[in-house]
């Protein structure tokens, strides 16, 4: 009788336990925390759009960093039940079908975050293609709603589309970095592309 393969995500690891101990619903908090520390992403008073926000760890962290003077819009297809505080607004919906008008209620944003990922299908190629689609939707939202000088963070599954994704950011931002945070599971193919200092309209591609 063959055994079912073990699910590497079922057992809580040290990051999961630490997140729960600190009151966050998911271990993903430590990925954003590391990115924030390395690129100085979030500051008091900013306006932040968080795409793919459920269960709410990134939004919780962002809300704390931007403080009472900031504003946060958290968006996800799933309900977000985590308490995010009075500066946050929650929208439930599919980021691929929501119009920019639905996302623009707090625009222009200083930071656009996207931790969006596809529900894995078992097909590596299909999952990578879906991840790229979600990433590029987040980039399009950032292009439309991010203020000049603003920053973008987007998750993407590593694939042959990575180069195209990076080039799309280079057209919009003065600096582009890729970061695989320490909190990423060893068997994960995800990494994050970061765009810093969005170019002003008409600035052209300087890369």
Within the chain, residue ranges assigned H as helices are 14-21, 29-39, 57-66, 100-103, 124-145, 162-172
Q: Is 76 annotated as a binding residue?
A: yes
Q: What is the pLDDT of residue 121?
A: 86
Average pLDDT over every residue of 80-103 = 92
Q: Is 149 annotated as a binding residue?
A: no
* Whether the predicted pLDDT of 4 surpasses 80: no
Q: What is the pLDDT of residue 132?
A: 97
Q: Are 73 and 50 in contact, with CB atoms under 8 Å apart?
A: yes
Band of pLDDT at residue 122, cut at 50, 70 and 90: confident
Band of pLDDT at residue 69, cut at 50, 70 and 90: very high
What pTM did the predictor assign? 0.87
Average pLDDT over every residue of 183-199 = 88
Band of pLDDT at residue 8, cut at 50, 70 and 90: very low
d(CA 161, CA 131): 10
What the block records as the tokens of 138 is 């987040």
3-state secondary structure of 198: strand
Average pLDDT over every residue of 21-36 = 75
Q: Is 13 annotated as a binding residue?
A: no
* Whether the predicted pLDDT of 9 surpasses 60: no
Band of pLDDT at residue 20, cut at 50, 70 and 90: low
- pLDDT tens for 142-186 read 999 999 999 999 999 999 999 999 999 999 999 999 999 886 767
Displacement of CA 187 from its chain's centroid (Å): 20
Q: Are 132 and 168 in contact, with CB atoms under 8 Å apart?
A: no
The torsion region of residue 52 among left (phi > 0), alpha (psi -120 to 50) and beta comes to left
Average pLDDT over every residue of 104-121 = 94
Q: Looking at the annotation, which residues are catalytic?
A: 155
Q: What is the pLDDT of residue 111?
A: 98
Q: Domain extents for the chain?
A: 39-188
d(CA 175, CA 152): 11
Superfamily of domain 39-188 in the CATH hierarchy = Vaccinia Virus protein VP39 (3.40.50.150)
Q: What is the pLDDT of residue 23?
A: 56
Check residues 189 and 197 and name the one with the higher pLDDT.
Answer: 197
Average pLDDT over every residue of 90-95 = 92
Check residues 141 and 183 and name the one with the higher pLDDT.
Answer: 141
């Amino acid at each position: 009788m063959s055994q079912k393969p073990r699910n590497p995500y079922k057992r809580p690891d040290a990051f999961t336990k630490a997140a729960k101990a600190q009151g966050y619903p998911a271990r993903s908090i430590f990925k954003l925390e590391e990115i924030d520390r390395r690129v100085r992403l979030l500051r008091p008073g900013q306006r932040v759009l968080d795409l793919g926000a459920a269960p709410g760890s990134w939004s919780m962290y962002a809300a704390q960093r931007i403080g009472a003077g900031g504003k946060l819009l958290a968006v996800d297809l799933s309900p977000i039940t985590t308490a995010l505080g009075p500066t946050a607004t929650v929208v439930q919906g599919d980021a691929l079908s929501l119009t920019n008008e639905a996302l623009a209620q707090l625009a222009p944003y200083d930071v656009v975050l996207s931790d969006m990922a596809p529900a894995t299908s078992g097909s590596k190629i299909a999952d990578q293609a879906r991840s790229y689609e979600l990433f590029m939707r987040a980039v399009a939202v950032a292009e439309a709603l991010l203020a000049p000088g603003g920053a973008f963070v987007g998750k993407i599954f590593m694939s042959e589309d990575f180069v195209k994704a990076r080039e799309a950011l280079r057209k919009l931002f003065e600096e582009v970095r890729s970061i695989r945070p320490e909190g990423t599971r060893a068997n994960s193919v995800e990494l994050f592309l970061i765009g810093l200092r969005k170019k002003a309209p008409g600035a052209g591609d300087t890369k």
